[in-house]
Structure formats: C-alpha cells, structure tokens
Structure 1
C-alpha cells in the first residue's frame, strides 16, 4: 500500500502540469487560425495588473478587457502588427512582454552585451596588471655593491 502511494506521489510530482488559461469560452473564436493569432498576441502582451503574466494567463479584469480588444481588432481584419501598435499606443511599450528594438529600447536590449563586455575587459585588465612586473635597471652604485657581495660569496665558497 505504501509503495503504491509513493509511486503515485512520485508520478504526480514529475508529471508536467499545464498552466491554467484565463480565456473564457465566450472569448474563443470559431476559426482556429484566428484563435491561434489571438492566443499568440495575448501571450506577448503583459497584464498591467499582474505585470509578470501575459494577458493570456491572467484572470484580472484589465487582462480580460485587453484580450477582448485584441480579439475585436482581429475580427475587424487588423494584422498582428496593427493590433500591437494599437495596444502600444494606448498603454505604452511596457505592455509588450518582449519590447521592440528601437532607439528608445536599444539600451535595454544592448545592456546585457555591454555588461558582459565590460566585465570581460575588466577581468583582462585585472589579470594583466596583476602579472606585470616592473623591471628597473640598477644604478652603477647598486651594481658595484651587488658585484662586491657576489665576489665575497664566491670567495668564501672557494677559499673558505
């Protein structure tokens, strides 16, 4: 009995679960192509209430309203880009889960590359400075002193 329970728990733990979808049956298009377009667009738009969920996954009222706006525009014959432009014009770039690359978002897209580059350059500079050894030439006075010490040392070994 125990082993059957453990096996059942193990299977449930490692069985992938599908996340819940917030779309209501009344929102679903009869045309599967249009429905897929609506779902793809909804998955790329941020719920402004939840902020880390797409409007496709969120149960918030605003997310439902945005889903309806997307579906209305698709019914009217808008392209995907036109729907996104309409939503962005009303809510700003923040509504996009994957912001577009333009002059206003360039830093957002380039910052990981810049941070990585500066990090690599910093590490290279640090290693080079750490491995640098300054070699100074001896003055004539210091050179004579070293030769004198070396000759005394060699005399003591030879004669000593």
Structure 2
C-alpha cells in the first residue's frame, strides 16, 4: 500500500487545470485523443503524460479543434497531417511502417535462433570424444615434467 501511495504521483497526467475544458464530455474526448498522440520531445510518452512545452501546445490545439466542432477522427487527422506518422503512438500498418511493426517479431526470432545455435554448439562440444595425445604432445609433456595425461578409455 505504501509503495502505491509513493508511486501514485508518478502516474499523474501532465494536463494542467488551465487546459481542461469546462464540458466534461469534450474533456473526455480530448483526453482520449491526447493519450493516442506521441510527445515529439519525449518520444515514449503520450502528450497527455508529457510535461514538455510542445506537448502542452498540442494538448491545447486538440482542445481548440474540439471546441471548433471537429470530430475525434478529424482532430487526429489534422494532427497527423501536420506531424506525420511519428506523432501517432500506434502508427498505421503500411509499407513505410512494416519494419516498425515487424521489429518485435524479428527480435524474438533472432533471440530464439541465437539460443538454439548456442545450445547446438554446446551439445556438440560436450558430445565430442577426447582425442588421444600424439607422440609429439607426449614428448612435450615429458620435457615439462608432466606425466601422460591421456584419458582412460570409457
């Protein structure tokens, strides 16, 4: 419980009271839109969560467009047209963003392949039989004062 109380302020939204709309329905629509838009400064936060001045400007712009009577889709399209796919936290699937959408799967497959290859390599090393020492290696060991270290046959 204590941890939840300590961490609660970290989850607070960056929307200031001055930005909020008087109409609760419009404010709810604005919040729904701003949670879908990426902060262009922070990049891993929505503009609803960001304290950056550009995020504040975008939140105000969204609210202004809603007050002008635009639909949610029109506001999203307006912002998208001005800032491109990058402003969307969930960019559309199209040829230009295919790598972005495929990257997690590619990373997962690459990790699985690396683990599989390491396991095969380790199994082949463990399974390889020990070779007997050559006469030259035995002579070298004798000069070093080490007795024959050949493994017993199993």
For Structure 1 versus Structure 2, the TM-score category normalised by the shorter chain is: 0.5 to 0.7
Number of equivalent positions: 124
Q: Equivalent residue for 2:62?
A: 70
The 3 A distance-change label for structure 1 pair 20 and 124 is closer
Greater shift after overlay, 113-122 or 45-54? 113-122
1:40 corresponds to which residue? 32
Q: Which residue of 2 aligns with 1:89?
A: 81
Please, which runs of 5 or more residues in structure 2 have no aligned partner? 125-154
Aligned-residue CA RMSD in angstroms?
A: 2.8
Q: Distance in 1 between matches of 2:65 and 2:15?
A: 17
| Separation of aligned partners in 1, 2:53 and 2:16 | 12
1:53 matched residue in structure 2: 45
* TM-score for the superposition, normalised by structure 2: 0.63
After superposition, give the CA deviation of every residue in 1:71-92 in whole Å (9 maximum; x if it has no partner).
1121223222221221121112
SS at match of 1:101: coil
Partner of 1:26: 18
Query: What aligned pairs does 1:130-145 form with structure 2 within 5 A after superposition?
Result: none
TM-score, scaled to structure 1 = 0.61
* Consecutive unaligned residues in structure 1, runs of 5 or more: 1-9, 133-160
Partner of 1:17 in structure 2? 8
Give 1 or 2 for the bigger CA radius of gyration: 1
